[in-house]
Amino acid sequence: MSNGFQETTSQSWFGRMKGALTGMLFGLLLIVIAFPFLFWNEGRAVERYKTLQEGAGLVVSVDAATRDPANEGQLIHFTGRAETSENVTDPVLGVSENAIRLGRDVEMYQWWESSTSETREKFGGGTETVTTYNYEMVWSEQVIDSSRFKNQTGHRNPGQMALSSDSWQANQVSVGVYRLSSSLIGSISGEEALPVSDNVTIPASLGYRARLVNGSIHVGNPQSPAIGDLRINLTIVRPTEVSVIAAQAGNGLAPFQAEAGGTIELLDMGIVSAVAMFKAAELRNKYLTWALRFAGFMMMFIGFKLLFGVLRTIAAIVPLVGQIVGTGISFVSALLAGSLSLVTIAIAWVFYRPLLGIAILVVAGIIIWFLFSRMKKADLVLPESGAETG
């Protein structure tokens, strides 16, 4: 079920100008933040790369069934079945299982608001925006704050859930003779559904409407849910095969401190060789590095667009001119953000890895030269055209 309505709002040219001036300050802030952010990311990436390279050259594969005192403090790799003797318990529902992790997922049926907007520029610089708000009922683990809805009439959600999602983890999980650290236990995945049995304790807070349906607890009518109804499912992570790389520390494990500055503590699901685990860790580092580089570029791009936004607003007195100027601002902002991002990354690499950094600086220099040569050429063409006309 969904419904919605439309709202039309207008903004004068002076209102837009005020917003553009405020945007300039925010844009400048974004640009300033982007530089140290990009520099930090390159340092983080290099440190992680060197740490993993160091670890790959030091790691020793051992048998998880025995512990060699000679490996104390050394980086070791082993595979085996992660097991625990503990029963993990949901204290509210009274469910107890021999498991590495037990989870309770609670969803509430609620109203959800979405919106789409279409803005039209008017002659004189003002704008008219038509916003369409749509409302539909969805299942969500988070309480959706309906007090923020544009139209709250008939679209009100409960302020809280009678029962919330939660999870519980075994304190002691071992692979052979090695006891896993809490962070390694938390890295074990493989959740599967755990059907709720008839002997579950249904708390009084859920009321008389709670019932068991196909291994789940439903508060309300599962065939025709109403706002505020709940559905509760359990998940479990059972003993499973894992591969681990960490420092041997007594009968347990600890993060390995590399001379490169970082630490190594890895866990992969299944039987995986040390070589494959390090390759996977390096690939994750590359993905993260590029994701953060893109984030830094976008910070600069948005920053420059906001910084030049006043020009777009001034030109918007004539809508067509405003659109042309806006396209040009986007193009220039992208070039500036791209070139300055490359310069920042290159400077960081000069600091961390000189040869590659210099190469990146050359590429960035070519982009900057191209940008300013095009701008200079445009400045020269305009006077010449004016002279011919006169």
201 vs 198 pLDDT, higher one: 201
pLDDT digits (tens, 9 = 90+) for 102-123: 999 999 999 999 999 998 888 8
34-38, 322-326, 348-352, 372-376 — most confident range: 34-38
| pLDDT (0 to 100) of residue 389 | 40
Per DSSP bridges, beta strands 75-83 and 60-61 are parallel
Q: What pLDDT, on the 0 to 100 scale, is given for residue 388?
A: 44
Q: CB-hemisphere CA count at 13 Å for 71?
A: 26
What confidence tens digit (pLDDT) does each residue in 154-171 have?
999 999 999 999 999 999
H or E stretch covering 380: helix 354-389
What values do phi and psi take at 200, rounded to 5?
-70, 150
Closest CA to 111 of 231, 223, 229, 216: 229
Mean pLDDT for all residues in the chain: 89
User: What kind and span of H or E run contains 44?
Assistant: helix 13-58
d(CA 187, CA 56): 20
Residue 387 has a pLDDT of: 45
First vs last C-alpha separation in the chain: 66
Mean pLDDT of all residues in 91-108 = 95
Task: With a cut of 90, say whether residue 289 has pLDDT above it.
Answer: yes
Least confident of 39-53, 183-197, 205-219, 226-240: 205-219
pLDDT tens digits for range 57-77: 999 999 999 999 999 999 999
5 HSE (CA, 13 A, CB side)? 9
Q: Which residues contact 180 (CB under 8 A, 6 or more apart)?
A: 82, 173, 174, 244, 252, 253, 267
Res. 346 pLDDT band, cuts 50 70 90? confident
**Quick one: tokens of 53?**
């390279």
* Run of H or E including 337: helix 319-352
pLDDT of residue 193: 95
Q: Where are the domains of the chain?
A: 11-51+285-389, 59-110+135-270
Token digits of residue 217: 């607890």
pLDDT at 375: 63
CB 142 within 8 A of CB 107: no
Considering the chain, what percentage of its residues have pLDDT values greater than 90? Answer: 66
**pLDDT at position 382 over 90:** no
Distance (Å) of CA 209 to CA 105, 157, 217, 219, 247: 18, 18, 10, 5, 52
10 Å CB burial of residue 192 (0-12, 13-18, 19+) is exposed
Task: Give the pLDDT confidence score for residue 198 in this predicted structure.
Answer: 77
252-284 per-position pLDDT tens digit:
999 999 999 999 999 999 999 999 999 999 999
Q: How many CA atoms lie within 13 A of 274 on its CB side?
A: 20
3-state helix, strand, coil in the chain (%, to 5): 45, 30, 25
Q: Lowest-pLDDT range, 69-78, 306-315, 351-360? A: 351-360
Q: What is the CA radius of gyration of the chain?
A: 30
- Look at residue 186 and give its three-state secondary structure: helix
What's the token pair of residue 380? Answer: 């020269």
Helix (H) or strand (E) holding 161, with range, is: none
Q: Does the structure show a pLDDT above 90 at 372?
A: no
Mean pLDDT across 33-54: 95
Specify the DSSP class assigned to residue 206. G
